[in-house]
Amino acid sequence: MNELGGLHKTLKYTTIFAFIGMASISAMPPFNGFASESLIFRSFIEATNLIQNKNISILIVLSLALLALTSSGAIYSAIKYFGITF
């Protein structure tokens, strides 16, 4: 991928479509991944308010933190891929 740098000059449409795909996978706001990921985050937050058991609430909060960490890793890797290749 390092040798492919600068493809945006010759492959303009591919760059646009790759950016759209990268933004969708990364759950950027106007794309489909954002809606599903925001609903998952919202359900975790609402579940912590509804569940009375403290141990389960802590488990839900830890799951939410793990999902946020995974999401940020996906964003980082997708942006790095796009930046190096195009």
What confidence tier does 65 reach under pLDDT thresholds 50, 70, 90? Answer: very high
Query: What is the pLDDT, as a whole number, of residue 69?
Result: 93
> Does residue 4 register a pLDDT over 80?
no
Distance CA 77, CA 83 (A): 10
Extract the tokens encoding 71: 């999401």
Question: Using CA atoms, how far apart are residues 81 and 86, in angstroms rounded to an integer?
Answer: 8
Tokens 């106007």 belong to: 30
Quote the pLDDT of residue 1.
67
The 10s digit of each residue's pLDDT in 32-53 is 788 888 898 899 889 888 888 8
Question: How high is the mean pLDDT of the chain?
Answer: 86
| Helix (H) or strand (E) run with residue 4 in it | none
Contacting residues for 45 by C-beta, under 8 A, at least 6 apart? 64
Contact predicate 12/22, CB 8 Å = no
**What's residue 9's pLDDT?**
81
Evaluate if residue 62 carries a pLDDT over 90.
yes
